[in-house]
Amino acid sequence: MESDFVDWLRGRIPDQPTVHVGIGDDAAVLDLSTHRCVVCTDMVMDGVDFILSECAPRLVGRKALAVNLSDIAAMAAKPVAAVVSLAAHRETPIDVLKEIYEGLLELADAHNTAVIGGDTNSWDQPLAISITAFGEPTSKGVLKRDGAQPGDVIVATGNFGGSILGRHLVFKPRVEEALRLHAEYELHACMDVSDGLSLDLHRMTRASGCGALLNLSTIPISDAAHRLSARSSDELSPLEHALSDGEDFELILAVPASEAERLVRTQPLDMRLTPIGEFVREHGLWQQDTAGERVPLQPRGYEH
């Protein structure tokens, strides 16, 4: 099966100018115009990140690549290539594997990202896909999560919560958005939200050696978070879902105050940019109560 599948894959993947040697050799060779390369890797597994029997295989492949492109976006880099390793249950029909790759390749094509190799294998366990993605920094360099400074405004793209109702399979990696913001505005730090807004913001503050004060009334809450909260068995409010659900794959940015005012006023993207708080000197995560006092906020989210 593997030889036939690799032959199909070689015929399916178009040529890319950055690929000197692609699928079919012992390793791939990339031509990059810079001397630095952004590299990330993520694994998704049946039963953890998706349920293969309950969703379209194309969406599984799409998500496998999308989570990696979201990490590239968080660094404000341009995705260039990806290596895909897939382990499928030995009884998985080859047509299912092709559908998985079609979903992955459709997203890759949309971002001019070359799939340059990887590995396929079979076993007696559920499907697992591991992708390593490569990105190229712009002339402004990369954004990291450790650059937030006290006084910076916390600006978020999109909205949060309820991704389990379907968004976790179809979210849009904020690649173009990150590149545009990095090119046109002064940004100190950036991070994508994969494990929960409060948890990932807490990680950003720890990396930056500061704290964060959230204005909870400004958190952009998704309609899905409201629907999830309305279920009779759910004990979390829409706000709690927005703060902790994870797999939103939106961006949180540390923006100097004067630049944040311009950014929010001009709204240069297709989705809303929302100021949700500020970075402060006091370590930890904080919320402001109705009396204006700072109260500790417990970070919550998905812990691997």
Q: In whole angstroms, what is the distance from residue 150 CA to residue 269 CA?
A: 26
Domains along the chain with CATH numbers: 2-137 (3.30.1330.10), 153-296 (3.90.650.10)
Q: What are phi and psi of 277, to 5 degrees?
A: 160, -160
211 CB-near residues (< 8 Å, 6+ apart): 205, 279, 280, 281, 282, 283, 284, 285, 286
Q: Residue 233: its pLDDT value, please?
A: 78
Side chain identity at residue 299, one-letter code: P
Helix axes 57-74, 94-110, angle to 10 degrees: 30
The length of the chain is 304
Contacts 24+ apart (CB under 8 A), 286-294: 286/211, 286/212, 286/213, 286/214, 287/213, 287/214, 287/215, 287/216, 288/213, 288/214, 288/215, 288/216, 294/213
Q: Residue 234: its pLDDT value, please?
A: 78
What are the pLDDT digits (tens) for 149-201?
A: 999 999 999 999 999 999 999 999 999 999 999 999 999 999 999 999 999 99
What are the pLDDT digits (tens) for 230-254?
A: 986 778 999 999 999 999 999 999 9
Residue 82 vs residue 13, higher pLDDT: 82
First to last CA, the chain: 33
What are the pLDDT digits (tens) for 67-108?
A: 999 999 999 999 999 999 999 999 999 999 999 999 999 999
* Residue 19: exposure state from Cβ atoms within 10 A (0-12, 13-18, ≥19): buried
Lowest mean pLDDT among 16-20, 28-32, 291-295: 28-32
Q: What are phi and psi of 112, to 5 degrees?
A: 50, 45
